[in-house]
Chain A
């Protein structure tokens, strides 16, 4: 009873301003995971999969829905590299920074990619086409260097090859 009251009070005082379409995604993700707090990471992954990111105002309804504090939800979001609180570009290009790719020119490839798209790892291009991300190993190490664009892996990457991939990503919707 007391817990219910506290939850309701907090709910009234905060009034999250999540747009209706996003709010329904949150509600569905919570229901699909049976409001089980041990499935917080799955809930967050579900929401990000559908919305592309985790809006700040979603933290509150997720916390309420799982019976967790906002700090616990925020803590998980901030811990995992995959989870993002800002929308990404239309395509996500993950560039491997780990040893096997370092041994095969990965550092120079990364520099080339940053120069060509005009932003650094962790940033999105001005036209919103591509978000560059660092990744530590894609498991494609027998044919390094490797990148992954959206969920498409590309190995033994050359500058000519990556230029075509970037061109395609920029022109595709």
Chain B
């Protein structure tokens, strides 16, 4: 019987040497005339263990990691194919503590299956959600999504069901489904893992959305920094067309729907939905004022569902298992699970899918194992470059939309970036403004000009030039950015800046005589 050995093919596993491991495994087993099939799966998301290879022994997967190409001969000598003992042996994959403690709904198949294999997808419950959706009326499908409590995982946390119902009720046609795969936030990679680990799930989700709202055409807008995702998506869309999961009369129904992949061109702002629509239409990615909502006047001015990849990838599970089963997880208005991404200076970085309600400390310490450097954690940025910096005494904050907002932050796309005590928070605050200046589309003045003024003000503050007056001015500027910008780029850049200033004032230059003088004047 042919033994199956799994070697991940996702971009980060490849970046850590997975291709070399796979090549060596093929060569070494061939040289020894062993009957082995090397399967390229997605990553389980335990990146401190990547490249992590797995062997299927009697239907149970056993893991080894991190494995280097040079380990392969000794692994085979040690009886890899029978899960033999070896320095890198991690035991049964499902019992790895950091994996066992997760609740994988959206990521149930990621790392388990061969992402390019339709058979593998079908054998693991693939297209069950679409089959069930096609037996329901569009309105009932929307009801199911509403019942799940699913909210947009891209950052805005808008209820997905309400968005879909708006598009369903819009009279104009044609309608579109746009999948936002412009995952630009630093510290996030969940979208990439889905596209490289379970791409048919995204295709299924978009077909469900198409049925629910009456759309005929879909676009996946994927950032150019993800060449592996693009190649996998292109391949799988072709396979889906070939086997009748895209095109006309999908799965024997009247549903007609197809998907095109569009590649971004290195503009962070194109992750903003209206900017993305402009980009898909071939123009500069300039933000559109809202209203009109994209749900009513989106792509080419037609009703459009724009959803993040994780939002969409949650939908097939919801349709297959029911909205109530999904909303049974989580806390309060944050229903279901959140795929958290642990990044930055962290010992065990990776993907952690857990129900809402876990604390930041549990994530960083229990799952993440503290900092990679071994030094104390000092700051944690949650929610990408537009998210607030949390002080290490705020780590008991619960991870749900409301609790994070109450603590002055935002959950964004679920990225958690840890910094140790060598970080200079004034430098980080300056970077937030600088990033906004680099990536601003330029349409509105607060963002275009304010970001550059923000950099200048922080420089002056650090140099001690009229420190207190300039801090007041910076706070004033943040208010203008927050309330006067057209979109979230300008609107949220104040979050990292203000939180850095509030929690780490000691990094922003020294109080000096001028400060004392100003302070006296104010009295």
Please say whether chains A and B are actual partners in one complex: yes
**Chain A interfacial positions (CB closer than 8 Å to B):** 36-42, 44-45, 72, 75-76, 79-83, 94, 96, 98-104, 135-144, 146, 148, 151-156
B265 and A153 form a contact (CB under 8 A): no
Q: Could you say which of B45, B267, B343, B419 has the most chain A C-beta atoms within 10 Å of its C-beta?
A: B343
Q: Could you say which of B14, B226, B349 has the most chain A C-beta atoms within 10 Å of its C-beta?
A: B349
Q: A81-B266, A82-B224 are in contact. Are A141 and B418 (CB under 8 A)?
A: no
Chain A residues whose C-beta falls within 8 Å of the C-beta of B283 in the assembled complex: 40, 72, 75-76
A143 and B12 form a contact (CB under 8 A): yes
B16 and A141 form a contact (CB under 8 A): no
16 A-B residue pairs with Cβ-Cβ distance under 8 Å, sorted by A, are A36-B282, A44-B265, A81-B266, A81-B267, A82-B266, A98-B385, A99-B344, A99-B381, A99-B428, A137-B188, A139-B191, A139-B225, A141-B188, A146-B15, A153-B11, A153-B14
A141 and B15 form a contact (CB under 8 A): no
Say how far B403's CB is from chain A's closest CB, in angstroms. Answer: 22
Report the contact-size class of chain B (Cβ under 8 Å from the partner).
Answer: 35 or more
A100 CA to B121 CA, complexed, in Å: 33
Chain A residues whose C-beta falls within 8 Å of the C-beta of B47 in the assembled complex: 142-143
If over half of A's interface residues share one DSSP class (helix, strand or loop), that class is named, otherwise mixed; here it is mixed
B184 and A103 form a contact (CB under 8 A): no
A140 and B435 form a contact (CB under 8 A): no
Say how far A162's CB is from chain B's closest CB, in angstroms. Answer: 13
Q: A142-B341, A151-B227 are in contact. Are A75 and B284 (CB under 8 A)?
A: yes
Say how far B120's CB is from chain A's closest CB, in angstroms. Answer: 24
A153 CA to B418 CA, complexed, in Å: 22
Contact mask B368-411 → A, CB, 8 Å, 1/0?
A: 00001000000001000100000000000000000000000000
Question: What residue of chain A has the Cβ atom nearest to residue B267's Cβ?
Answer: A80
Chain B residues whose C-beta falls within 8 Å of the C-beta of A39 in the assembled complex: 282
A142 and B186 form a contact (CB under 8 A): no
Chain B residues whose C-beta falls within 8 Å of the C-beta of A140 in the assembled complex: 11-12, 15, 189
A104 and B186 form a contact (CB under 8 A): no
B263 and A45 form a contact (CB under 8 A): yes
Say how far B116's CB is from chain A's closest CB, in angstroms. Answer: 18
Query: Quick one: which of B15, B282, B345, B420 contacts A37, CB cutoff 8 A?
Result: B282
Contact mask B407-449 → A, CB, 8 Å, 1/0?
A: 0000000010111100100001001000100110100000000
